[in-house]
Structure 1
Amino acid sequence: MILNYLQKYKAFIIVLPILILLLYILHIIGILNIPSNQPIEVLVITVFWWVGLSFLLNNLLKMTKIDRKKIGIKIIISIVLLFIALVIDRWIDIPDNPLTMTIMLLFWFAIFNLFAPKFIQKYKKILITFYSIILLVFYYYRFQTDQYENYLIIKDEWILPILIGSLPLLVLLWVYEQSKLIKTLRQEKSQAELSLLKTQINPHFFFNTLNNLYSLTIKNSTKAPEVILKLSDMMRYTIYEGEKENVSIEREINYLKNYIELHKIRHRNNNDIQFHIENTKNNLIAPLLFIILVENAFKHGMERLTSNAFIHIKLESNLKGVFFSIKNNFDEETKNQDSGIGLKNLKRRLALTYPDNHELHIKKSDKEFEVQLNIYMND
Structure 2
Amino acid sequence: MTAFLKKYSGFLIGLATLLVLTQILSSLKLILIDPDEWLTNTLFFVFWWLVFSFPIYKYKYILQHKLVAYKVLGLSVCLILMVIIDSYFNIPDNPGTIFLLVTLWLGLFYLFIPKFFTKYQRYIIGVYAIILLYFFYVRLSAISFEDYVSNDKETAFALFFLPIPFLILVWVYDQWKWLKTLKADKSKAELELLKTQINPHFFFNTLNNLYSLTVKHSDKAPEVILKLSEMMRYTIYEGKKEFVPLREEVTYLENYIELHKIRYQKKVNIEFSHSIEQEVKVAPLLFIILLENALKHGVESLTDSAYVKIDLSSSNRHIRFSIENNYEPLEINESKGIGLENLKRRLELIYPKTHELNIHKTASTFAVDLKISHQ
Question: Counterparts of 1:96-135 in structure 2 under 5 Å?
Answer: 96-135=93-132
Alignment partner, residue 345 of structure 1: 342
Displacement of 1:215 in angstroms is: 4.1
Note if 1:23 corresponds to 2:19: yes
Unaligned runs of 5+ in 2: none
Alignment partner, residue 358 of structure 1: 355
Of the candidates 126, 139, 142, which is equivalent to residue 142 of structure 1? 139
Superposed CA deviations along residues 113-170 of structure 1, whole A, max 9, x for unmatched, are: 111111111211222222112211221221113387478545545x444432210111
Question: Counterparts of 1:71-90 in structure 2 under 5 Å?
Answer: 71-90=68-87
Deviates more, 1:26-35 or 1:95-104: 26-35
CA contact under 8 A between 2:289 and 2:343: conserved in structure 1? yes
Question: Counterparts of 1:325-344 in structure 2 under 5 Å?
Answer: 325-339=322-336, 341-344=338-341
Secondary structure of 1:319's counterpart equals coil
Question: Percent same amino acid among aligned pairs?
Answer: 46
Structure 1 letter corresponding to 2:273: H
Note if 1:241 corresponds to 2:238: yes
CA contact under 8 A between 1:213 and 1:224: conserved in structure 2? yes
Displacement of 1:43 in angstroms is: 8.7
Q: Distance in 2 between matches of 1:245 and 1:349?
A: 12
Alignment partner, residue 368 of structure 1: 365
Q: How many residues align?
A: 371
Structure 2 letter corresponding to 1:114: L
Q: Distance in 1 between matches of 2:76 and 2:168?
A: 22
Question: Counterparts of 1:237-276 in structure 2 under 5 Å?
Answer: 237-276=234-273
Question: Counterparts of 1:77-226 in structure 2 under 5 Å?
Answer: 77-146=74-143, 149=147, 153-156=151-154, 159-201=156-198, 203-217=200-214, 220-226=217-223
Q: Distance in 2 between matches of 1:333 and 1:314?
A: 27
Alignment partner, residue 61 of structure 1: 60
CA contact under 8 A between 1:328 and 1:370: conserved in structure 2? yes
Displacement of 1:193 in angstroms is: 1.1
Deviates more, 1:40-49 or 1:337-346: 40-49
Secondary structure of 1:307's counterpart equals coil
CA contact under 8 A between 1:190 and 1:352: conserved in structure 2? yes
Q: Distance in 1 between matches of 2:270 and 2:63?
A: 64
Secondary structure of 1:77's counterpart equals helix
Structure 2 letter corresponding to 1:223: K
Of the candidates 295, 312, 317, which is equivalent to residue 315 of structure 1? 312
Unaligned runs of 5+ in 1: none
Q: Distance in 2 between matches of 1:38 and 1:154?
A: 14
CA contact under 8 A between 1:56 and 1:115: conserved in structure 2? no
Note if 1:291 corresponds to 2:258: no
Secondary structure of 1:331's counterpart equals coil
CA contact under 8 A between 1:302 and 1:310: conserved in structure 2? yes
Displacement of 1:356 in angstroms is: 2.3
Displacement of 1:223 in angstroms is: 2.5
Q: Distance in 1 between matches of 2:150 and 2:178?
A: 42
CA contact under 8 A between 1:362 and 1:370: conserved in structure 2? yes
Q: TM-score, normalised by structure 2?
A: 0.86
Q: Distance in 2 between matches of 1:364 and 1:178?
A: 46
Secondary structure of 2:298's counterpart equals helix
Q: Distance in 1 between matches of 2:63 and 2:347?
A: 41
Displacement of 1:23 in angstroms is: 3.0
